[in-house]
Amino acid sequence: MQLKEQILNTFKTTFGKDPLIVYSPGRINLIGEHTDYNGGFVLPAAIDKKMIVAIAENQSEQGKIYSVDFEEEFAFDLSSFSPKPGHWATYIMGVVAQLQQAGYQVKGFDMVFGGDIPVGAGLSSSAALECATGYALSTLFDFQIPKTSLVHYAQKAEHTFAGVMCGIMDQFASVMGKKDHAIRLDCRSLDFEYFPIALGDYQLLLIDTKVKHSLADSAYNTRRKECEAGVLAAQKVNPEIQDLRDVSLELLAQLDLDANVRLRCKYIIEENQRVIDSCIALENGDLARFGQKVYESHFGLSNEFEVSCEELDFLVDLVKDKQAILGARMMGGGFGGCTINIVHKDEVSQVKKEVSQAYEEKFGRFPEFYLVSPEEGSGTL
């Protein structure tokens, strides 16, 4: 609990009183990539890396914040504030703005925050900060905001203040996570169900490429348009169709589509089914079958949806014949970030050693490794 102690001590030193301490975790997505904006299924889990917030009332009209990670103070007037593009305080102010718009009377507060979620690795450190802020303010001022509402406020903060039109998965996993479980989230209805992650002799190992290619944003927008083109074509045959999840592979084969659009749609339709198949495998404790679905997901992302990159493909190709690894795939939007790997506990250090060496030989730099396990969502420490 070094992080908690550091934040507590920093708060007492900075503001001279005892705070309330809450946390919200980062997240992984086990399978179900790019399905969220297609009204499909995702399978995220909260992880044991978190953002911690210490907070107390301050009898003023200001929010006064200190970031332990940036070693920087920031203050804003609760009656008049606006986004500060590129600044960490934007995420916090965005949440305050959402709560105010919803009618909650946010009073002056002092806050210190910090976390151990690697930034830029695709583990949703920004969503964790938004969710921790919302949970902290709700608890401090006894707003008793339902958890599902906190999820929406955090997502809207990202849209309106940070200017990122994210889906709802990151915030949902951060708030609603459950220890040793994944959440199958229906991104259309927001119905959700927990599925056990009983890994036994295996662990989840993230391997960070340490790259983010500039293609990411433009390719994301293009993929969305390609998926929408598939839906429009399908609606001409059946006007009841809302999203690609309503399209079967049989119907897809009949549609007059550009070759790229057909491939993108095929991936999404199959990925939705893979999420459902993965949940059955997890319920049955069939880790080998789950691992196979994870590999299939990467193949689809790389060859059909085409959002992988040389580094991600290299990491998956490197481990796919290793007996110690049941499954591996790129995780997140693509063009960089992490691969997620299901690795036998006894082989973790050997895998890290071999991957480090091979990656450094190929790309001239070392990857980062993070062992993660599924944990509880937002709570009080």
Q: Are 345 and 202 spatial neighbours (Cβ–Cβ below 8 Å)?
A: yes
Question: CA–CA distance from 22 to each of 117, 129, 137, 154, 166 (Å)?
Answer: 15, 11, 10, 16, 24
* pLDDT score for 161: 92
Average pLDDT, the chain: 95
Asked if the model's pLDDT at residue 162 lies above 90, the reply is: no
Q: Give pLDDT tens digits for 220-259.
A: 889 999 999 999 999 999 999 999 999 999 999 999 999 9
- Which tokens hold the place of 260? 């790229």
Secondary structure (3-state) at 20? strand
On the question of pLDDT at 190 being above 70, the answer is: yes
pLDDT over 90 percentage in the chain: 92
Are 154 and 171 in contact by the 8 Å Cβ rule? The answer is yes
Mean pLDDT confidence for 80-86: 94
- Does 19 score more than 70 pLDDT? yes
Q: In the predicted model, is pLDDT for residue 165 greater than 80?
A: no
Whether 9 shows a pLDDT value over 80: the answer reads: yes
Read off the pLDDT of residues 194-218 as tens digits, 9 standing for 90 and up.
Answer: 999 999 999 999 999 999 887 767 7
**104-113 pLDDT, tens digit each:** 999 999 999 9
0.75 cut: is pTM over it? yes
- The pLDDT, as a whole number, for residue 63 is 98
Query: What is the structure's pLDDT at 217?
Result: 75
Question: What single letter denotes the amino acid at residue 272?
Answer: N
120 carries a ligand binding annotation: yes
pLDDT (tens digit per residue) in 122-160: 888 999 999 999 999 999 999 999 999 999 999 999 999
Residue 1 in this model has a pLDDT that exceeds 70: no
Q: Which of 222, 235, 288 is nearest to 261 (CA)?
A: 222
Q: Is 334 helix (H, G, I), strand (E, B) or coil?
A: coil
The CATH code of domain 202-372 reads: 3.30.70.890
Residue 218 annotated as part of some ligand binding site: no
Q: Confirm or deny that 336 is annotated as ligand binding.
A: no
**What are the pLDDT digits (tens) for 21-70?**
999 999 999 999 999 989 999 999 999 999 999 999 999 999 999 999 99
135 is in an annotated binding site: no
Among 218-222, 277-281, 290-294, 327-331, the minimum mean pLDDT is found in 218-222
Catalytic center residues: 170
Residue 33 labeled ligand binder: yes
Q: Band the pLDDT of 121: cuts 50, 70, 90.
A: confident
| Per-residue pLDDT, 219 | 85
Please give the pLDDT value at position 124: 87
CATH architecture of 2-196: 2-Layer Sandwich (3.30)
Q: Please provide residue 24's backbone torsions phi and psi, each rounded to the nearest 5 degrees.
A: -145, 135
Sort 136 into a burial class: Cβ within 10 Å, 0-12 / 13-18 / 19+: buried
Q: Where are the chain's structural domains?
A: 2-196, 202-372
